[in-house]
Structure 1
Amino acid sequence: MENFEQQYPQKPILMKRKSGGHISVTVLSMVIFAITFSLILDDYYLIAILLGVLLFHELGHFLMMKLFNYEELNMLFIPFMGAMVSGRKKEYSQIESSLMVIAGPLPGILLGAFLLLYNWTEPSSLYIQLGVILILLNVMNLIPIDPLDGGQLMRILFFNNYEYAQLIFTAISSLAVAGVGLYFNSWLMIIFGLLLGLRIKNKNKLYLIRKDMKEDDIEYESNYDDISNKTYSKIKRIIIEHTPVLNEIEEYNEEERYNQIVAKQVDGVLFPPTKKDASIAFKLFMLFLWAGGIILSTYAITAIEFNSIINAFQNR
């Protein structure tokens, strides 16, 4: 078996991304986010609140990832889009992934509802502003469309292993967001919908690659470090068939650099094994939290007079 394995070239050692400087990257992205927003919104006070709410949301994801021992953690703020936390593990868990996803929007909704519903002696405009923004931003994230938290939660719980279903889900999400943008004449939502649409091409390519891998008896639920030289060579061949430009890249790059490019492509089509540990009871519990967050948000917003909200944002 060892001699047979030696017939294949040694797979490259994948250079992993360094995450030690994630704090500086996060701060820099926050500055760029604020500067970009200031070009269209001449309200630094509101921008500061928005940044704080986004940071609070992403910290929920980040802390749960730390708790569940995710590696290569990074937090990034993206102008006009929001923010995201990325990380990876050797093996995922439905339970851990679900809790990590819901940990973003749920704390913000609870805090926002508290600020709006608590019987303050002298309710301030700041409490109303914070409460409204906390709830609106987080409840929007519970909408079950890809790649929002609600969409991620549904994918994890119900069709994590159904590649084609995920492709259709992304397409529907893109059309839904763009359609809402057209209806409300919101160019920002239209652009967001179109950007989601761009993911369809990549997801379709990934679906086709993994389909070919299955036909070749290659298991894509694996880690790069765990695959054999033979498996690496077979995946590399399939990827090049779907990405002919890699042949051109090879001509203009040094061998080591080219090998890293291909290795990252191979790593990109692999997905660490996911432990199917979510029982029906747990899935129902997560759906309860998801629906509860939406219901609580609706109640908290409607419990406040609309004029009070308008006055809170106008009179500071």
Structure 2
Amino acid sequence: MQYLLYPIAIYALLYVIRYLITFLQIRKLPVQYPKYELQKADKVPTYLKELFQTPIRELEQLDFKPCSYLQVESIVKVYPPTSWQILLYNETLKTYAIVSIRRPAEPVNLFDIEFFTFFEDRSLLLTMNGKAYGIIGEIPNFIIEDRYTDKTSVQWQAHQDKLNQLAATKTPCNLAPDTFAKTLQIFIKDYIDCLAKAGNISPIKEAELFQIDWLTALKTSHKTIQGGSKAAGIIKQRRQQAKTDSTIQVEIPVELEVEGFQRMEQLQQGIVNKKLRTWLLLGSLALFIASYMKLFSLQSFAIFMGALLFHESGHLLSMKLFGYQDTSLLFLPFLGAVATARKEDATLTQKFWILLAGPLPGLILGMGLAIASRDGSYPGWVQQASWILIGLNLFNLLPVYPLDGGQIADLLLFSRHPYIGVIFKVFGVIILGLLGIGQPMLLLFAILISLSIPNSFRSAKVNSWLRKELRQNPPENRENLLYSIFQNLKQMGYGNLPFSKRYVLAKDLIQRHHESGAKRTTIVLLVMLYFVSLFGGTIGTLQAIAPNWARIISYSFQNPQKLRKRATEAKKREVEQATEALRLNPNDINAYVKRSRARMWLRDDRGAMADYDHLVRLKPNDIGYRLSRASLRARLRDYKGANQDYDYLLRLNPKDIKIYRRRAQMRNMLKDYKGAIADYSEIIKLDSKNISAYLARGYARERLQDYKGALTDANYAIELNPNQPDAYDLRSEIRRRLGDDKGAIVDRQKAEALYKAIEEEDRN
């Protein structure tokens, strides 16, 4: 059940993100009064005149004739500031058709055709195709028909049918083209004024523009997503038809591709303002805290959060230093955090330092804390912080994509060999997939990354071709670079991909182009720096945690008896040195720590116990010292003393599952089964799916002859994991005591079969 919840949660999250992005884009788009101007054909770009021939031929079959070209400033102010449309007229039905280019441009759905019939009562019949979902509010004097169809003839028939219905009460106007353009402009101006009067839009200060109200944008977002799904069905149908009818698919000019890319860039830039980034940070932080609070004690979680923030702050600071824009931080539930920013022309060197600035400072800090806390004079949380810092940052330095180290390796080693980079990413997905066996979120993360592999392969294929061309003909500016990219995409057969994929491909290729400017010597130096950081961090960690690690390794190849004898002599010397230090200063915590560890190694548990008594006296709230003393007391069979230590620890942290489990064990040893049951019940409150707690409570209840309660625990453990042999063992014993011999035999056989399966799996 748990594994099913994760994909459901991811799907819901993606839907919310889609809704949020749509809402932000609608809020960001300024509304303006449109302008329609008739233009002569010589002012229209040649590629557009050639492109418009396809819909012209289609509409001529429906008795439309071309009238003029229109240069339009649309109701929404987006790039490009003006667009070209063509106007056609059906004299019989006194109806105009306007053909424009759909955005984003798709080969099978490139043209947007709308039919307009004005009536003498100053009303207008407008028949569109798959666009009504984008209309805000009601349009006065408009009669709108929308047919989600893949055929223009069906749309035109719908317009004629509506005209026939209106014929009894309305009379169409015969307008000249220039009059039609002016009248349409007036109608839409009135529509905008009505929206402003109704409060759907509000004026933007010092500009003849309007902003869509947030509530209106929210409603329109819902309509857009719902209607967009229906419109996507049209594109799907036309793609299917294009497989057998090549005339349906239109080759998109490169100029339109470049224009579409720049339009998308404008839509995405500044979509998330500073205030919204703050809210997103707080919202993601709340989800992150909720996902991790049960896995950590309060102190451990605070240390983990500090280590994570220190890591991401390194990324953010370096981004700001290199001139990145829109820097932000987001927390990922069950995973970690990610720092994001925007800079299209970032160089390879800049990206390297940004990636390294996250793990390297944290690793150095972790090693420093490990060295400082080695002598035991610092509180226990310092050592814990060192472990978390080292673990988090050293793991991130590993050359596994998409970790920081994996991105560095991909950047430095595979940027010039993109096909090998694709294999490297596949390897990273496999590693994450294996880790995801124990952590489902990592598995889903691996799946999300694997979805980008096809695009990486396309990018690698195009990049190899593009680099040769750009080497021969370096682009003068960004527009020339975009032209070359889309030209190559078309030549390599990627022109028919959905625009969203073409856009992502182009973005990736632009970044690769800027990265390719690095010199080989620079790359070699950065590679050396990365490996020095990785291996230096590994060796430094070993040195910080175990200063004698090299000597220990060399000793391991010597005679074990000699090694043991040398170690024993060394530990005895440590005891003598610490004893001398304590003679001079009876409150020397460092000396007690060293002597207790040496005595434990020498198996002098009582001596070590005496040292921990002093440590607890000097540092009563230190969790590490009290835990160690409790373990020693248990080893010396002083169960009451151990129980007292665990009581104290639980007063310090009443949500520590491990302490409850240890105290329950002590209570079992003291035959305080009711106390043990209370501890196991607390564990279950903190973790309702803790199978071992249910089983342990069941055995404790059995000892108190509470067989019904024990049976309930065994049943619930089996429900949580039907392949748990210990649960069947427990239930078999309970059923036997309740007189259910048949049930006891069945459970015993099931337990034996599961034990046997586990043994065979271990052998294999």
Q: Post-superposition shift, 1:50?
A: 1.9
What is the CA–CA distance in structure 2 between the aligned matches of 1:70 and 1:223, rounded to whole Å? 23
Tell me the TM-score normalized by structure 2.
Answer: 0.34
For the residue of structure 2 that corresponds to 1:273, the secondary structure is: helix
What is the CA–CA distance in structure 2 between the aligned matches of 1:281 and 1:261, rounded to whole Å? 35
1:154 matched to which residue of 2? Answer: 409
1:199 matched to 2:447? The reply is: no
1:125 matched to which residue of 2? Answer: 380
1:289 matched to which residue of 2? Answer: 533
What is the CA–CA distance in structure 1 between the aligned matches of 2:493 and 2:626, rounded to whole Å? 55
**Amino acid in the other structure paired with 1:206:** S
**Amino acid in the other structure paired with 2:346:** Y
User: Which one of the candidate residues 311, 315, 321 is aligned to 1:57?
Assistant: 311
Alpha-carbon distance change, 97 to 223 in structure 1, aligned in 2, over 3 angstroms: farther
What is the CA–CA distance in structure 2 between the aligned matches of 1:280 and 1:228, rounded to whole Å? 27
Q: Deviations 1:171-194 (Å, cap 9, x if unpaired)?
A: 111223333555xx4545444444
1:168 matched to which residue of 2? Answer: 423
Q: Does structure 1 retain, via aligned residues, the 8 Å contact 2:397–2:404? A: yes
Q: Does structure 2 retain, via aligned residues, the 8 Å contact 1:181–1:188? A: yes
1:226 matched to 2:479? The reply is: yes
**Amino acid in the other structure paired with 1:294:** T
Q: Does structure 2 retain, via aligned residues, the 8 Å contact 1:113–1:131? A: yes
Residue pairs, 1:1-316, within 5 angstroms: 7=47, 8-9=255-256, 11-12=259-260, 13=262, 14-15=265-266, 16-18=268-270, 20-21=273-274, 22-38=277-293, 40-41=294-295, 43-118=297-372, 122-182=377-437, 185-208=438-461, 210=463, 217=469, 225-227=478-480, 230-231=483-484, 234=487, 237=490, 241=494, 244-245=497-498, 266-271=506-511, 273-274=514-515, 275-277=517-519, 278=522, 280-302=524-546, 311=624
Q: Does structure 2 retain, via aligned residues, the 8 Å contact 1:106–1:138? A: yes
Q: Post-superposition shift, 1:57?
A: 0.2
**Amino acid in the other structure paired with 2:453:** I
Q: Deviations 1:187-238 (Å, cap 9, x if unpaired)?
A: 45444444443332332343345467669x578x989953478547636757
Q: Post-superposition shift, 1:47?
A: 2.7
Q: Does structure 2 retain, via aligned residues, the 8 Å contact 1:144–1:154? A: yes
For the residue of structure 1 that corresponds to 2:341, the secondary structure is: strand
Q: Which runs of 5+ in 2 are unaligned?
A: 1-42, 48-254, 549-596, 601-622, 628-648, 653-764
Computed over aligned residues only, the root mean square deviation of the Cα atoms, in angstroms, reads 3.9
Q: Post-superposition shift, 1:67?
A: 1.0
2:214 matched to which residue of 1? Answer: none
What is the CA–CA distance in structure 1 between the aligned matches of 2:367 and 2:401, rounded to whole Å? 25
Bigger Cα displacement from structure 2, 288-297 vs 14-23: 14-23
Q: Which has the higher contact order (CA 8 A, sep 6+)?
A: 1
Which structure would you say has the larger Rg?
2
Alpha-carbon distance change, 201 to 81 in structure 1, aligned in 2, over 3 angstroms: farther
Q: Post-superposition shift, 1:101?
A: 1.4
Q: Deviations 1:222-257 (Å, cap 9, x if unpaired)?
A: 8995347854763675799466455xxxxxxxxxxx
Q: Does structure 2 retain, via aligned residues, the 8 Å contact 1:125–1:313? A: no
Bigger Cα displacement from structure 2, 171-180 vs 65-74: 171-180
Q: Which runs of 5+ in 1 are unaligned?
A: 247-259
Q: Post-superposition shift, 1:59?
A: 0.6
Q: Post-superposition shift, 1:282?
A: 4.3
What is the CA–CA distance in structure 1 between the aligned matches of 2:302 and 2:341, rounded to whole Å? 26
What is the CA–CA distance in structure 2 between the aligned matches of 1:297 and 1:280, rounded to whole Å? 25
What is the CA–CA distance in structure 2 between the aligned matches of 1:181 and 1:312, rounded to whole Å? 35
Q: Deviations 1:54-83 (Å, cap 9, x if unpaired)?
A: 111011011111111122322221112221
What is the CA–CA distance in structure 1 between the aligned matches of 2:363 and 2:440, rounded to whole Å? 27
Q: Post-superposition shift, 1:103?
A: 1.1
What is the CA–CA distance in structure 2 between the aligned matches of 1:288 and 1:28, rounded to whole Å? 38
Q: How many residues matched?
A: 292
Q: Post-superposition shift, 1:86?
A: 2.2
Alpha-carbon distance change, 280 to 266 in structure 1, aligned in 2, over 3 angstroms: closer
Q: Post-superposition shift, 1:159?
A: 1.8
